[in-house]
Amino acid sequence: MPRVHLDGSSLHFEESGAGAPVLLLHGLGSSGQDWELVAPRLAAGHRVIVPDVRGHGRSDKPAGPYGVPLFARDISTLCERLGLTRVHVVGLSMGGMIGFQLAVERPELVRSLTVVNSGPDMVPRTMSMRLMFATRLLMLKTLGPRVLARMLAPKLFPKPEQAELRRRVVESIGANEPDAYLRATRGLVGWTVLERLKDISCPVLVLASDQDYTPLSAKQAYVDRLADARLRVLKDSRHAAPLDAPEQIVEAVKGFFLEVEGQELGARSVG
């Protein structure tokens, strides 16, 4: 079982393929299995690394507060231990937040950033947002991960033919260690790099499901604040896009990587 050891903890990861490195980061309460329909298709031309974030999946779940900066430091250490430099970072939801954190803290590491149904800010600025976060934390604390998973599954995958995806969500989220999941959830609330978007110089691709929780306008608003970013809509997709729209993600990401790598090659040729 591949693992990288941190200070008093360790991360599980999967690796496949060869070529330019690609890092796939999963969402809150999930694991690298978020990417199981995407990773094999990217591994045909790239070295793909899929970790389980601290407190999730098969990685350790040490005590103490969690948060996006800590998760990003762990992933940065993972990259260093594997000898990775200039990485294409792809993140879903919480994974996108970790990607943003890496882009502002370790710009030399992030070759490109792809953000799937995520954003650079989790500050509850309205009463409705504060109520939403408080409700989620209360439900998680009182009902536990498995009950919460049963409530989330039909929202993520409502179609009759998505029964297997619903079952997998209940199984994966329901398997979370309750305290670690609660600490990870708390660690997202209040996080922001919104004012640091101007410092992100790498190319950014934002993939937004047309039926995600947050509207396209919210994603377009932060895309407009980035120096080199583009927005692409994933059709007939909800929040867990790597599972309900893997083909669209693979097509978009492969094209983006070719664009980034081609631009770099052209710049070197001119230089």
How many angstroms separate the CA atoms of 62 and 81, rounded? 20
**Burial group, residue 115, by CB count within 10 angstroms (0-12, 13-18, 19+):** buried
Indicate the pTM of the whole model. 0.96
Given a cut of 60, is residue 73 above it in pLDDT?
yes
Does residue 180 sit within a domain? no
Residue with tokens 């033919």: 161
Given a cut of 70, is residue 270 above it in pLDDT?
no
Report the number of distinct structural domains present in the chain. Answer: 1
Given a cut of 90, is residue 271 above it in pLDDT?
no
Does residue 173 sit within a domain? no
Given a cut of 70, is residue 126 above it in pLDDT?
yes
Does residue 160 sit within a domain? no
Q: What is the pLDDT of residue 265?
A: 74
Does residue 166 sit within a domain? no
The confidence band for 53, taking pLDDT boundaries of 50, 70 and 90, is: very high
75's CB contacts (< 8 A; 6+ apart) are: 23, 25, 51, 53, 98, 102
Angle between helix 163-174 and helix 145-156 axes, rounded to 10 deg: 150
Q: Give me the CATH number covering residue 94.
A: 3.40.50.1820
How many angstroms separate the CA atoms of 126 and 128, rounded? 5
pLDDT in tens, 157-203: 999 999 999 999 999 999 999 999 999 999 999 999 999 999 999 99
Structural domain containing residue 215 = 3-123+192-270
Does residue 158 sit within a domain? no
For residue 158, the tally of other CB atoms under 10 A from its CB is 11
Mean pLDDT taken over the chain: 94
Q: What is the pLDDT of residue 135?
A: 87
Check: CB of residue 227 under 8 Å from CB of residue 198.
Answer: yes
Does residue 32 sit within a domain? yes
Tokens of 228: 């080199």
Check: CB of residue 152 under 8 Å from CB of residue 176.
Answer: no
Does residue 204 sit within a domain? yes
Does residue 164 sit within a domain? no
Q: What is the pLDDT of residue 1?
A: 67
Cα torsion 20, 52, 107, 73: sign: negative
